[in-house]
Structure 1
Amino acid sequence: MKQPTRAHDAAKTRSKAPIGAVTAIALAGLIGAPGSLRAQTGASRSLAPTADFSKLCVAPPKVALTRDWKKWDRKQPVRNLDEMYGAALLYADGAPQVARDPVTARRLLEELSARTWPGKGRALYRLGQLMLDPAAGPVDAERAAALFSTAASTLHMDAAVQLARLHEQGRIKGADVKEAERLLRTASAAGNVDGVIGLARLQKSGRLGAVPQAATEDLVKLGLLILYGDLGRGKCSSLYEIGAILSDDALVPGGLREAVKWFEAAARQGDYRGDLSLAGIYLQGRVTAAPGAVLRHLTRAAEAGSAQAMTSLGEYHLRGDGTPKDVAKGVAWLEKAGTYADVDAYKLLSRHYRGEFGSAPDLPKAADALSRAIALPGHTSSVIVSLARLYAAGIHGQPDIKTALALYRQAADSGDPSGLTELAKLLLARPQDALGTDVLGLLNEAARRGNPEAMGVLADLYECSAVVAPDMEQSRSWLMRAAAAGHARSIAALASQPNADPEVMRRSAEALKRSAEKGDRESMVYLALAYRTGRGAEQDERLAAEWQKAALAPGEDLSRSRFLLARRLLTVGSAEADRTLGRNLLEEVARGGDASAVFELGRFLTSASQPGSPEHVRGVALLQKAAASGVVAAMAELADQPDDQLRVTGKTAADWRRTAAGAGSVRSAIALAALAEDPADRSAWVERAEALPVCSARDMVELAAIHHRTNNPQAVERARLWLQRAVADTRLHEPDPATLFQIGRALFDGVGGSTDPQEAVTYIERSAEAGKVEAMRFLGRNYASGALGEGKNDLAVAWLIKALRAEDEGAAADLARVATTSEKDAGRAVEALKEAAGKSFVPAMREYGRSLQFGFGTVADPVQGGVWLRKAAEAGDIAAMKELSRAYASGYGVELSANASTDWLLRAANAGDTEAMYGVSLAMTLGFGTEVNADAAQKWLATAEATARK
């Protein structure tokens, strides 16, 4: 055996050697540690992780229950306190024959900590641990610290380490990282391996200032040497602990593969922690596993009594990752883990019954699982909030708002600010249930306690709501605070503002990333989109894909991230692959009964399919289901559907519009006002709309237009005020092109007495530049007509060409007219028509053909003109069919043919053109290009007149 002094020297002189070298030293026989650290051990043994430790390990004594301590009430005498302590540990940790019962363990340890006996320090330490375990009851970090401090004073170094962690984590009053360092050094000096490694980690964190790397590496090596010494004395729990150090890349870069060997050795000796660690490493893909390895390790740990393994195994079977999916086994393991007081097991069961793992949703069972989790002492308020959301969505098909409100209040009373925020949001959505509750007060309290979502909601309310008077300074202040706190939606709102401050955006992006790294799924979604679009972060497709994958990874709140991502992937302009993924995500969330997802899916299906198609019919049904759950936007969406598609709902579009307006849809109220023929009805609906929060510039402009049409001094003033609000809103939020065009048209038409045509043109040009084709056409036509100033045909042609390239049908005819009226600009106009015709744009084919026929803006070429007209007609253009009919009737550019002339006219008539129908009737009466057929002629005449009347 090597001398202890040489071992100590080796640890010092090799401080910069790779960990494999240190391991090699230990394996060569460094069983004994320096006398100051550990007593010397006996004979040297080979301690490679592949060794047969069954001959070395000393099994800890088995503890069995001699009585049912759950029934102990202090009246029965206790003669053996060690026996009582062993029972407490069994209840605290659980075992195959003893279900975990941390509440009973806590009661026993309270008794043992109050008695004077040799093991009091141990009891104090274990009681302190339970004070930090939510499964044992309310967490009390301050009392835990007091217990650890008392235990440490009896030289219980594990307690000193735990107290150091509380200081390090800032969980107690007067937390001080320097005190954490002192406690860890004390434990290290006593040879406590957790103290040694804890000190190394603290040094690595940088919180102690600059520490030489060699000093930290020495601590890691010392920790390993202590564990090798323990292992040499038969303490085989060291196998797992060695693996835990080697697997920490911050402590031992590249040590994972060596760690796996030690975890395998621990698992062979029955330490389920080794199995759990291996399963985790393989599941994370950090090391490639053999087929079935994860299942084998999880099963072994679960059968050894690990509640964590049972829960992981249950999820593994539900997912079918790397093994055939087995729902029954998965549920069975989760139910068993629940008997060990594992709250996470019940949360997973609830997710299963919500349909997250592919099974049909069973919301009553999902609610039951969460109710059982709430019955456990270790539940958190987030479980209560999840259950409240289920009741608000409707477990039995209809929302149970009363129960949801009670649960939200319970979560709020437990001290969780998110419970306050969720309660406020539900009351905002259902003001009839508020019953005098100070919703604003709830949000302010939650915000004061640091809840970012509450800050974001306050920003929205101060911007526009019926709860508080608009106050843009307050709104901006809350928005900035929410963004600084990492609130994803507020950060996205800042990014979308016109002329966003680059420094604010940089800080917000950093906050978003910090929030995402802490596991906030909404932040992950927004961060993925920021990297994809380059708004708020430098464009990076790789990072976008990574954060999107993280947002969709298995775990709590997966449905929420699926929903958020789906809504953004389904926006106009998204790639087909993104829209497909978005729809699939929505389908998954909607299956779980989420009313918002049901609405979004219904809206997507009705907008992306033809009326009457199966997809459209399903979309209407989904919208009706969401409307029945109280989603006002679904009511408004139904109001936009054709009446013949709404028969299954039992209401007309007008009925749905009135329902939506009554439920709080300002857009529906505005639409009813715009459609109202009776002045009293119009006034009533305008009054209803103005009593609701009017938050979008689009709605403001439409209200202004309705007031303007009323044409009395008071209404004109109201129109002016609403138009001013719309203009002000565009300075705060990046408006969409359609809204810009609406504002420009309102200014151009003099709504509210506006008299600044140039301001109108500015808005319309912004809309056109953002891609609004109608705005391009408007500018082109009005520059051409002189309405925007004389002599601006060059601008007219420029805008009409842009509209034409955007495949605007009207722009083709407008350019053709310019070619007939402006010799200077005719060439550009015809050249643009030729370019578009060459790209098979049918209206351009027709107009280019007509220009060639008659020589508008180009040298006349009737034959080529006829060729282009025929191409347009064959592509289904009715106007081209009629032009071609006239050409054949006169023989201009084509052969003279009465038959061909009537044939093309008949095609136009069959396509629904009234003028062509009259022409066919006349041709059949006269026998032009067809036989005389008085009966058919009369039928065509009747059809033409009926069509004209429509």
Structure 2
Amino acid sequence: MTPSESAAAASNDTRTRRSRLLDRVVGSLWPSMALHRATRLMAGGQAIRAFGLFARAARAGSAEAEYQVGRCYLNGAGVPVSRADGFRWIERAAARGHAEAEWILAALYVDGVAPCCDRQDSSGSPLDLFSFDVAPEPDFAAAEKWARRAAEHGSADGQALLGYVLTFGPKSMRDLEEAQHWYKLSAEAGCPQGAYGYGSSLVQSGDSEGDEVRAADYIRLAAQAGLSPAIYLLGMLTERGWGIERDQSAAVQLYRRAAVIGNRSAQTSWGRALMWGVGVEPDRIEGESWLRRAALAGDADAAALIGDIYAEAGALPPNYAEAAIWYRRAAEAGHAAAARTLGLLYLSGTGVGRDPREAMNWLGIAAEAGDRSAQVDLASLLLNDGASHPGDLAKARDWLERAAASGNLLAASHLGVCLLEGIGMDREERLALQWLHQAAREVVSAQYWYGRALSEGRGIEADPSLGRAWVARAAAAGMADAEAALAEMMVNGRGGPKDHGAALDLFERAAAKGHVGAMYALGMMRDGGFDVASDHAAALRWFEAAAERGHEAAQHIVGHSPQQNVRDDR
């Protein structure tokens, strides 16, 4: 080192010692000057020196200094991170009426990081104030208290946070009108979170075109500030043309922007757009990658979409086992439709081992979440397979009635059959006919049952002709039971002319689908006595097919047929 360099280094050391001595003197004698000097040092990147001055001013009772010390501990600025110390100093500043400390304290309570000061371990020593062996829970009551103080002291952040608590806190605490008031004040003060909250509240409550435009304007302000939920919501409004010009391509780019900075919902929307080329060139590999990222981060919609991708046939056959994994992830995250699909996979044994109990579990989760289709599915299972206690049957009937009343024709069909046959409930044939008639407009099984009821005069005066017409509609749609029933009507001439040839064709169609009664009927017709060619060998084959499937009359015939006796003698 040259003499000049040595002199410069010595001069720097001297200035540093003098500066630190000045810090000590200022900190000891003039707390307000210490606070001012610490603020300048922090802005200049000298966090360690700044923290020392903040701490001296805080010990002298400065609320601003206490607040700054708390922030240093929370952010690890000039001192190792300590959430416990950070909370304690922020709380001290808030107790002195420091507005910014009040809203940060409220935010800590919302985030569930407030300490439980009265817990102790087995040795009697206080536990770590921020031990997270158990997942932290928000304390909305304490959050509301401190956020309200901050809001009333004019903190725009506190106003936004109070609006959040009043919107998303416990139901007993929610007040959407007051929340909108605080959001508006915060937004007008230029707080991005307030702008987003106010815009979102207008989306929910707005009932005029002016409200729609104002909502979009405030959400745009929050998006311009880089708030990812606002960017995503602005994308949704742009996609739907709500308060803003509809532009699918612009919406997708907003999704992409929010996705890149970590918004899960935006990652799902961006992945969906890439998968199916909505507003952007399709890229299925990249799209699935974004969906997976969102799903693994906990987005239920993304997990359900991946399940759908694996369940659908494309260039490769469906992979139901992989689909079931993603449906389970979505269902566990609260996705009702995925829970229903998972239940149906267990019911049929597709991609997973067949497990009716597990099927009932997932269908029950979806049904309790309000999924109408799952309610119909589960109600049908409970009513047909039996329920563990009468309450299940009552719930099943209630679900069917609600779904049927809302226009669900499949539910109307199930309810009609149960009332007609007394499955899980008392027989009410007149009421059954009403539901079946409503469902018969579109539901094939309802056409069959309605036709049977009309033909047999159940709940109404018998009308075999009209009944046969309804059964014929179901048979034309390929329902095996209806084909066999119509064939029987044609054999006997019930509700219309006899036609044994057409009946034979219908029995053969039903038998090909595994209808055991049709197999037996074919054996009878081919055995002679009908207006079709006799064929005893064919008759025996049909009797044997029916007998193998448990048809008692067919088993009796096969057991006493001459051909069977010859085989037995051998």
Cα distance, 1:903 vs structure 2: 3.5
Question: What are the Cα deviations for residues 425-457 of structure 1, in whole angstroms up to 9, with x where unaligned?
Answer: 999xx9963679735434665685368788567
Residue identity matched to 1:776: S
Residue identity matched to 2:510: A
Q: Give the secondary-structure state (helix, strand or coil) at the position aligned to 2:408.
A: coil
In 2 relative to 1, CA 814–422 (structure 1 residues): closer, same or farther, beyond 3 Å? Answer: same
The aligned length equals 445
Residue identity matched to 2:456: T
1:423 to 111, 128, 148: 111
1:528-927 matched pairs, under 5 angstroms: 543=247, 546-553=250-257, 556-558=260-262, 560-562=264-266, 564-565=268-269, 585=287, 587-591=289-293, 594-597=296-299, 601=303, 605=307, 615-618=319-322, 698=368, 736=372, 764=401, 766-771=403-408, 773-779=410-416, 782=419, 795-802=434-441, 805-807=442-444, 809=445, 812-821=448-457, 822=460, 826-889=464-527, 892=530, 894-904=532-542, 913-915=549-551, 919=554, 923=558, 926=561
Residue identity matched to 1:801: A
Cα distance, 1:887 vs structure 2: 3.7
Cα distance, 1:589 vs structure 2: 4.4
Which protein, 1 or 2, shows the higher relative CO under an 8 Å CA cutoff with sep ≥ 6? 1
1:73-222 matched pairs, under 5 angstroms: none
Q: Give the secondary-structure state (helix, strand or coil) at the position aligned to 1:503.
A: coil
In 2 relative to 1, CA 934–764 (structure 1 residues): closer, same or farther, beyond 3 Å? Answer: same
Q: Could you tell me how far apart the structure 1 residues matched to 2:443 and 2:85 are?
A: 55
In 2 relative to 1, CA 925–624 (structure 1 residues): closer, same or farther, beyond 3 Å? Answer: same
Q: Give the secondary-structure state (helix, strand or coil) at the position aligned to 1:914.
A: coil
Question: What are the Cα deviations for residues 143-189 of structure 1, in whole angstroms up to 9, with x where unaligned?
Answer: xxxxxxxxxxxxxxxxxxxxxxxxxxxxxxxxxxxxxxxxxxxxxxx
8 Å CA contact 1:780, 1:799 repeated in 2: no
2:170 to 459, 462, 476: 462
Q: Could you tell me how far apart the structure 2 residues matched to 1:531 and 1:794 are?
A: 48
8 Å CA contact 1:849, 1:864 repeated in 2: yes
Q: Could you tell me how far apart the structure 2 residues matched to 1:644 and 1:738 are?
A: 15
In 2 relative to 1, CA 784–924 (structure 1 residues): closer, same or farther, beyond 3 Å? Answer: closer
In 2 relative to 1, CA 508–877 (structure 1 residues): closer, same or farther, beyond 3 Å? Answer: farther
Cα distance, 1:852 vs structure 2: 3.4
Residue identity matched to 1:831: A
In 2 relative to 1, CA 509–891 (structure 1 residues): closer, same or farther, beyond 3 Å? Answer: farther
Say what the alpha-carbon RMSD is for the aligned residues.
7.1
Relative to the length of structure 2, the TM-score reads 0.51
In 2 relative to 1, CA 551–454 (structure 1 residues): closer, same or farther, beyond 3 Å? Answer: farther
Aligned to 1:334: none
Q: Could you tell me how far apart the structure 2 residues matched to 1:592 and 1:811 are?
A: 45
Cα distance, 1:863 vs structure 2: 2.6
In 2 relative to 1, CA 455–413 (structure 1 residues): closer, same or farther, beyond 3 Å? Answer: same
Q: Give the secondary-structure state (helix, strand or coil) at the position aligned to 1:596.
A: coil
Q: Could you tell me how far apart the structure 2 residues matched to 1:614 and 1:409 are?
A: 56
8 Å CA contact 1:812, 1:844 repeated in 2: yes
Cα distance, 1:521 vs structure 2: 5.4
Question: What are the Cα deviations for residues 309-330 of structure 1, in whole angstroms up to 9, with x where unaligned?
Answer: xxxxxxxxxxxxxxxxxxxxxx
8 Å CA contact 2:295, 2:302 repeated in 1: no
Question: What are the Cα deviations for residues 189-229 of structure 1, in whole angstroms up to 9, with x where unaligned?
Answer: xxxxxxxxxxxxxxxxxxxxxxxxxxxxxxxxxxxxxxxxx
In 2 relative to 1, CA 622–881 (structure 1 residues): closer, same or farther, beyond 3 Å? Answer: same
1:210-359 matched pairs, under 5 angstroms: none
8 Å CA contact 1:486, 1:512 repeated in 2: no
Q: Could you tell me how far apart the structure 2 residues matched to 1:478 and 1:828 are?
A: 62
Q: Could you tell me how far apart the structure 1 residues matched to 2:390 and 2:209 are?
A: 37
Cα distance, 1:801 vs structure 2: 0.4
Cα distance, 1:503 vs structure 2: 2.0
Cα distance, 1:778 vs structure 2: 0.9
In 2 relative to 1, CA 639–605 (structure 1 residues): closer, same or farther, beyond 3 Å? Answer: closer
In 2 relative to 1, CA 878–739 (structure 1 residues): closer, same or farther, beyond 3 Å? Answer: same
Q: Could you tell me how far apart the structure 1 residues matched to 2:409 and 2:86 are?
A: 48
Residue identity matched to 1:806: V
Cα distance, 1:74 vs structure 2: 9.3
Residue identity matched to 2:134: D
Q: Could you tell me how far apart the structure 2 residues matched to 1:567 and 1:615 are?
A: 20
8 Å CA contact 1:421, 1:442 repeated in 2: yes
In 2 relative to 1, CA 865–409 (structure 1 residues): closer, same or farther, beyond 3 Å? Answer: farther
Q: Give the secondary-structure state (helix, strand or coil) at the position aligned to 1:778.
A: helix
8 Å CA contact 1:409, 1:423 repeated in 2: no
In 2 relative to 1, CA 551–836 (structure 1 residues): closer, same or farther, beyond 3 Å? Answer: farther
Q: Could you tell me how far apart the structure 2 residues matched to 1:425 and 1:812 are?
A: 62
Cα distance, 1:560 vs structure 2: 1.1
Q: Could you tell me how far apart the structure 2 residues matched to 1:866 and 1:415 are?
A: 82
8 Å CA contact 2:410, 2:439 repeated in 1: no
8 Å CA contact 1:740, 1:767 repeated in 2: no
Cα distance, 1:638 vs structure 2: 13
8 Å CA contact 1:512, 1:523 repeated in 2: no
Tell me, which stretches of 5 or more residues in structure 1 are unaligned?
A: 1-65, 78-130, 139-373, 378-401, 464-470, 495-500, 570-574, 658-666, 672-694, 700-733, 937-950
Aligned to 2:219: 515
Aligned to 1:305: none
Aligned to 2:19: none
In 2 relative to 1, CA 778–136 (structure 1 residues): closer, same or farther, beyond 3 Å? Answer: same
1:474 to 169, 174, 178: 174
Residue identity matched to 2:561: L
Q: Could you tell me how far apart the structure 1 residues matched to 2:44 and 2:543 are?
A: 83
Cα distance, 1:858 vs structure 2: 3.6
Q: Could you tell me how far apart the structure 2 residues matched to 1:477 and 1:909 are?
A: 72
Q: Give the secondary-structure state (helix, strand or coil) at the position aligned to 2:207.
A: helix
Q: Could you tell me how far apart the structure 2 residues matched to 1:871 and 1:625 are?
A: 42
Q: Could you tell me how far apart the structure 2 residues matched to 1:909 and 1:71 are?
A: 109
In 2 relative to 1, CA 453–896 (structure 1 residues): closer, same or farther, beyond 3 Å? Answer: farther
Q: Could you tell me how far apart the structure 1 residues matched to 2:228 and 2:323 are?
A: 28
8 Å CA contact 1:846, 1:868 repeated in 2: yes
Relative to the length of structure 1, the TM-score reads 0.34
Q: Could you tell me how far apart the structure 2 residues matched to 1:857 and 1:489 are?
A: 65
Q: Could you tell me how far apart the structure 1 residues matched to 2:277 and 2:550 are?
A: 39
Aligned to 2:20: none
- Percent identity over the alignment is 12
Question: What are the Cα deviations for residues 68-126 of structure 1, in whole angstroms up to 9, with x where unaligned?
Answer: x999959679xxxxxxxxxxxxxxxxxxxxxxxxxxxxxxxxxxxxxxxxxxxxxxxxx
8 Å CA contact 1:606, 1:616 repeated in 2: no
Q: Could you tell me how far apart the structure 1 residues matched to 2:371 and 2:348 are?
A: 34
Residue identity matched to 1:462: P
8 Å CA contact 1:522, 1:551 repeated in 2: no
Aligned to 1:728: none
Q: Could you tell me how far apart the structure 2 residues matched to 1:583 and 1:418 are?
A: 43
Question: What are the Cα deviations for residues 754-775 of structure 1, in whole angstroms up to 9, with x where unaligned?
Answer: x9xxxx8898155453426134
In 2 relative to 1, CA 431–886 (structure 1 residues): closer, same or farther, beyond 3 Å? Answer: farther
In 2 relative to 1, CA 763–865 (structure 1 residues): closer, same or farther, beyond 3 Å? Answer: closer
Aligned to 1:438: 139
